[in-house]
A and B are shown apart, each in its own frame.
Chain A
C-alpha cells in the first residue's frame, strides 16, 4: 500500500506529497510512536561514536585553553585556518534549515513540511558548533566577554566597526531566532506527544507545550507569528552569511576583497546546508520508517536546489577569476593563479570537482532518484564546501603582497581533532533530538494532506475553441476595417 515513489510528472495537478493516503492519526502515529519506544540498536550505533567525538572535542578545547593557540598550526602570516574554516562551514550548514523553514514557507512550497523540523534542528546544532570556533580561537578566551557591549570598570566598549563584532551579533541573533522559530513551530507537536504520554513524561511535555489546546483563536495569532518569523528569518539568513563573508570582504587582501562575496557566500551556505539535510534525511527516514513522508519527490526538489545553488557558486568562481584578470591588478591575478597552481592546488581542485563538476550529475533524473548517489554526492558537496572556505582563507593569507612574508600552513593533530570533535557535537545533538522530540512537523504535514481542505472550489472550465473561432490578427484587422 505504501509506495515510495511519487514522481508522476503530471502537470495539471499536484501529485500527493505524502504517500499511501494516511489519515491524520496515521501521521501522528508515524512520528510520535518512535519516541515512546526505547531507542533502537541503530540509534546507539550513531550516538555512541558521536559522543566519543564530542569527548574528543572536549579534550581538544581543554588542551587548547591550557596550552594556548600555539597547539594549532597557525603562524604569521596564516593567522586563520581551520578555526575560521570550521566557523564558516558550520554557519553555512545552518542556513539550509532556515531556508527550508522560512523561505520555502514564504514560497508556499508544501513539500517543506516533511523536513523542516529536522532541518531547523540541524540549524540550531550547526550554529552551536559554529559559535565554538570564534570563542576558542581568540587566544585569551577568559576575556571574551569584552565583546559584550556592557559598561565595565575599564570604561571600555567594543569596536563596532569590526566585522568580527558584527559576527558576534549576527550569529548569536541567528541562533536565538532559529531556536525561537524551531520551538514555536514545535508547540503543537509537543501537545500531540503530551496527549499520548503518561506520568512524568506527560508532565514534561505538558510544560513544554505551554498548555496548547488546538484553539483556533490561538492558531489565528500563531499563524501570524509563524509568518512574521518566516518573513524575518529570510533576510536574517541572507544577512548573517553576508556578514560572515564580510570578515573577508572588508579587508584589502587579494582573493578576499571582492563585492560579490555576500550573495556568493549565501548561495554556498544554502548549497552545503541542503547537502547536510540530504545526508541526514537519507539515514533518518529509513531509521524511522518515514519513507512515505520524506519521499523521493522531496529529494528531487532538494537535489534541484543543490544544483541551482551549486551553479551560483560556480558562477561566482568564474566571475572572480574574470574580474581578477579584468582588474589588471597583479596581486589579484596572482592570488587566483596561486589557488589553481600553487602549493594548495590539491585543495583548490578538490573544491572545484566537488562543488562545480560533481553536482552537474544532478541534471540527471536517474541520479536524483538514487538514494546512493544522493547520499554520496551530498557528502562530496560538503567536503567541497569545507575546502572552499579553506582555500579562500589559507591561500590568500599564505601568499599576499610581500613575498618575504610568504609561508605555509600545515594543520596539527589538534586542528583536525577540534574539527572532528565539532562533528561529534553536531551528531550527538541530532541523535538526542531524534530520540526525544518529534522529528517531523506533524501538524504542518496534516495540514497539507488532501483531507485537510475545509472548502473546495471548482476551477472554471477553459474552452479551447477551434482555430477558426479564435480571432487572428488578420481577421480582427479586417473586421475593424469594415
Chain B
C-alpha cells in the first residue's frame, strides 16, 4: 500500500493510454496486447468486464488462501479463548455443564471464523491491490475520468521492456483504440 503515490521508477513519461468504445472492443484489444507480450499494462473499466481477466492472462487470485488462513485463525482463537476462559482462567459451574462445553463454544467460534475470513478478504484485497493509492499518473489524463463512468481503457507503462512510444501507440490503434495519448509521469 503506497498511500499517496504508487512506487514507480523515476521517468518523464508514464506510458500510453488508449480508449475503446465498447467492452467487446476492450476485450479483443486486451487479447492483442497480451499476445504481443506486454507485461506492465492494465485495462480500466467502470465495472469488471466478464472474462477480461482471462483475456489479459491474469493468474488466479491468491486471496481465497489469505481469507482461509485468517478464518481458521479466527476459529482457533474462538475455541482457544473460550476454552481457556471457561476451563482454566475463570471456571464456573453453569447448569451442570462441563467446563469445556464445546457445543456452547461453537457460536462464538463460528462468528470469529467468519470475522477472520472477512478481514482477510477485505484487507488482503486492499494489500494485493496496493490500495489506498490516492495519486496515480493516469489521473493526469482528462479523458481518464470516464473510466469510472462509461469509458474503457488500456494503459501500457513505459517501463515495459517492449514499450516504444511509436510502436506501442500504433499497436493500440490497430487493436481498435478510438484515442491514444501519452501520459506524463
Q: Which residues of A contact B (CB under 8 A)?
A: 23-25, 28, 149, 155-163, 165-166, 169-170, 173-174, 176-177, 180-181, 184, 188, 191-192, 194-196, 206-207, 210-225, 228-229, 232-233, 235-236, 239-240, 243, 246, 442-444, 446-447, 451-455
Residue of A nearest to B149 (CB): A28
B45 touches A160 (CB 8 A): no
27 CB-based A-B contacts, threshold 8 Å: A157-B90, A159-B86, A159-B92, A160-B85, A160-B104, A161-B86, A173-B114, A180-B119, A210-B132, A210-B133, A211-B132, A214-B148, A216-B52, A216-B53, A217-B56, A224-B64, A225-B121, A225-B124, A239-B107, A444-B47, A446-B46, A447-B47, A447-B48, A453-B23, A453-B24, A454-B24, A454-B27
B15 within 8 Å of A (CB atoms): no
B134 within 8 Å of A (CB atoms): yes
Residue of B nearest to A113 (CB): B47
Q: Known A210-B132, A218-B131, A225-B122; judge A24-B53 contact (CB<8 A).
A: no
Residue of A nearest to B30 (CB): A216
A211 touches B22 (CB 8 A): no
CA gap between A176 and B90 in the complex, in Å? 28
CA gap between A134 and B145 in the complex, in Å? 47
Least distance between B122 CB and chain A CB atoms (Å): 5
Q: Which of B48, B58, B135, B145 has the most CB of A within 10 A?
A: B48
B49 within 8 Å of A (CB atoms): yes
Binary per-residue interface labels of chain B (147-168) against chain A in the complex, 1 for a CB within 8 Å, 0 otherwise: 1111001000000000000000
B118 touches A229 (CB 8 A): yes
B121 touches A228 (CB 8 A): yes
CA gap between A158 and B45 in the complex, in Å? 49
B42 touches A216 (CB 8 A): yes
Chain B residues near A452 (CB-CB < 8 A): 23, 47, 49-50
Q: Chain B: how many interface residues by the 8 Å CB criterion? A: 71
CA gap between A159 and B135 in the complex, in Å? 49
B53 touches A214 (CB 8 A): no
Chain A residues near B115 (CB-CB < 8 A): 173, 176-177
B108 within 8 Å of A (CB atoms): yes
Least distance between A468 CB and chain B CB atoms (Å): 43
Q: Known A192-B149, A225-B125; judge A213-B117 contact (CB<8 A).
A: no
Residue of A nearest to B86 (CB): A160
With contacts A162-B94, A232-B71 known, what are 9 further pairs, Cβ within 8 A? Answer: A25-B150, A161-B94, A219-B45, A229-B121, A236-B114, A443-B46, A454-B26, A454-B55, A455-B51
CA gap between A384 and B159 in the complex, in Å? 64
CA gap between A181 and B114 in the complex, in Å? 13
Residue of A nearest to B125 (CB): A225
Chain A residues near B58 (CB-CB < 8 A): 216-217, 220
Q: Which of B49, B108, B136 has the most CB of A within 10 A?
A: B108
Q: Which of B63, B71, B111, B112 contacts A224 (CB 8 A)?
A: B63
The tally of CB-CB contacts under 8 A between chains A and B is: 214
B89 within 8 Å of A (CB atoms): yes
CA gap between A429 and B13 in the complex, in Å? 46
Least distance between A263 CB and chain B CB atoms (Å): 15
A166 touches B107 (CB 8 A): yes
CA gap between A163 and B64 in the complex, in Å? 31
Q: Which of A158, A177, A181, A217 has the most CB of B within 10 A?
A: A217
Chain B residues near A222 (CB-CB < 8 A): 48, 125, 129
B67 touches A195 (CB 8 A): no
Q: Which of A180, A212, A243, A455 contacts B118 (CB 8 A)?
A: A180
CA gap between A220 and B105 in the complex, in Å? 36
Least distance between A196 CB and chain B CB atoms (Å): 8
* Nearest 6 pairs of A and B residues by beta carbon: A24-B150, A210-B132, A225-B125, A454-B27, A157-B90, A219-B48
Chain B residues near A239 (CB-CB < 8 A): 107, 110-111, 114
CA gap between A216 and B124 in the complex, in Å? 17
Chain B residues near A442 (CB-CB < 8 A): 46
Q: Which of A23, A170, A443 contacts B47 (CB 8 A)?
A: A443
B108 touches A165 (CB 8 A): yes
A192 touches B122 (CB 8 A): no
A160 touches B133 (CB 8 A): no
Q: Which of A161, A188, A217 contacts B46 (CB 8 A)?
A: A188
Least distance between B94 CB and chain A CB atoms (Å): 5
A214 touches B114 (CB 8 A): no
A214 touches B24 (CB 8 A): no
A149 touches B81 (CB 8 A): yes
Q: Which of A156, A192, A214 has the most CB of B within 10 A?
A: A214
B44 touches A213 (CB 8 A): yes
CA gap between A188 and B125 in the complex, in Å? 14
CA gap between A446 and B114 in the complex, in Å? 30
Residue of A nearest to B84 (CB): A157
CA gap between A173 and B107 in the complex, in Å? 12
